Amino acid sequence: MPSTRSASASRLLVRADNSPVAREIKRESSVSLDTPKPEATVSVKRRRVKRELEVNGQHHKKQVPDIEDFIYEKAKTLTSSSKATTSLVKVEKKVGVSSVIKVICAVGAPDNWEAVLGGIKSMRLSGEAPVDTKGCEKAGSLLPPKERRFAVLISTMMSSQTKDEVTHAAVERLSENGLLDPDAIVRTDETTLANLIKPVGFYQRKAQFIKEASKICLERFGGDIPDSLNELLALRGVGPKMAHLVMSIAWKNTQGICVDTHVHRISNRLGWVFREGTRQKTTTPEQTRISLEKWLPKDEWEPINPLLVGFGQTICTPLRPKCDKCGINNICPSAFKESSSPIPKQKKTRSP
């Protein structure tokens, strides 16, 4: 009887060998021992050979994967990626701002920057700011190239934490006394030099730095000034802002943006700069320079300094900016957020 033969065969297989191959055959419930089909027989043989190879420590590898394998792997990757993206979005919704967006915004150009820059340029057409007539680039403008470069260096060294009007007046006094020359400065004592540049900020220390720089210019550069960024930075009293400005003005070689207090302040107000990998404002001019240079086109690096300096001197002032007179107050993220005029204190009225 067929049923008797099937049962007997199953018992014999179990007793005969408890090997993995025998267990594999037993698990193939779809295979009938009574009426074996050709396809089922081939399938069992394949499984048996594969199992035997695994038991004997031999690994069977496919040489050429089926196309379904590629489809499956691709689908599995896409599914995993979709799940990861979905979970990321869910997490970031809880946090508030995507970290991916943070990085992009920190590195990429800000929205509307061209419209903002165009608006500032339009407001600066009048040329009424102090920087337009008394900035460092105006120093020694009538002198020969070599002497003019030295005048630009001295003017730049005095300009730190000093208004353009004050710096310009100090340059004029040095010129009147024949001291826009490295040899003449070296032969002048520091006290005389300091009194001539006073009231420039930190005038005594700057007088010392100017004498040292003049000596280096004579001994190492034949009376000219250094023509590289690193050599300028090696001079005491010359920082990144000054070095980049001197390179641009004196040598017509713009290697970076000159960021002073105006550029630093306005760039943050406009939302143009962020600390590395964050949406937080920059805290130093050097951080601002690095952030600006990541997206601002290089042909804007030189003019951006006098442009924003003049804008900061006339409209976007440090205290009480004149937002009501600003032509970009509709697209500036900081417009009207700082008091445009001092709030008068209310007098206390006594009750009758």
Q: What is the DSSP letter of 324?
A: G
Q: Which residues contact 235 (CB under 8 A, 6 or more apart)?
A: 209, 212, 213, 216, 226
CA dihedral (97, 98, 99, 104) in degrees, to 10, reads -100
CB atoms within 10 A of CB 155: 27
Residue range 218-245, pLDDT digits in tens: 999 999 999 999 999 999 999 999 999 9
pLDDT of residue 99 exceeding 70 = no
pLDDT of residue 108: 83
Q: Is 241 a catalytic residue?
A: yes
Amino acid at residue number 308: L
C-beta atoms surrounding 22 within 10 Å: 16
Could you give the CA distance from residue 220 to residue 218 in angstroms, rounded to a whole number? Answer: 6
Greater pLDDT, 265 or 7? 265
Tell me the CATH architecture of domain 139-251: Orthogonal Bundle (1.10)
Q: Which comes out higher in pLDDT, residue 94 or 43?
A: 43
Place of tokens 């267990």: 23
For residue range 73-82, list pLDDT tens digits in order. Answer: 333 333 344 4
Mean pLDDT on 339-345? 53
Calculate the CA 26 to chain-centre distance.
66
- The CA-based angle 278-281-287, given to 5 degrees, is 85
According to the model, what pLDDT value does residue 315 have? Answer: 97
77 burial type by CB count under 10 A (0-12 exposed, 13-18 middle, 19+ buried): exposed
Euclidean distance between CA atoms 140 and 147, whole angstroms? 7
Residue boundaries of the structural domains of the chain? 109-128+256-339, 139-251
Q: Which CATH number fits domain 109-128+256-339: 1.10.1670.10, 3.40.640.10, 3.90.1150.10, 3.40.50.720?
A: 1.10.1670.10
- Nearest to residue 151, comparing CAs of 204, 225, 215, 207? 225
Copy the structure tokens of residue 63. 């040489």
As a whole number, mean pLDDT of residues 146-160 equals 97
Q: Which of 134, 206, 211, 241 is catalytic?
A: 241
Segment 306-323 shows an average pLDDT of: 97
What phi and psi values does residue 324 have, to the nearest 5 degrees?
A: -70, -20
Are the CB atoms for 269 and 316 separated by under 8 Å? yes
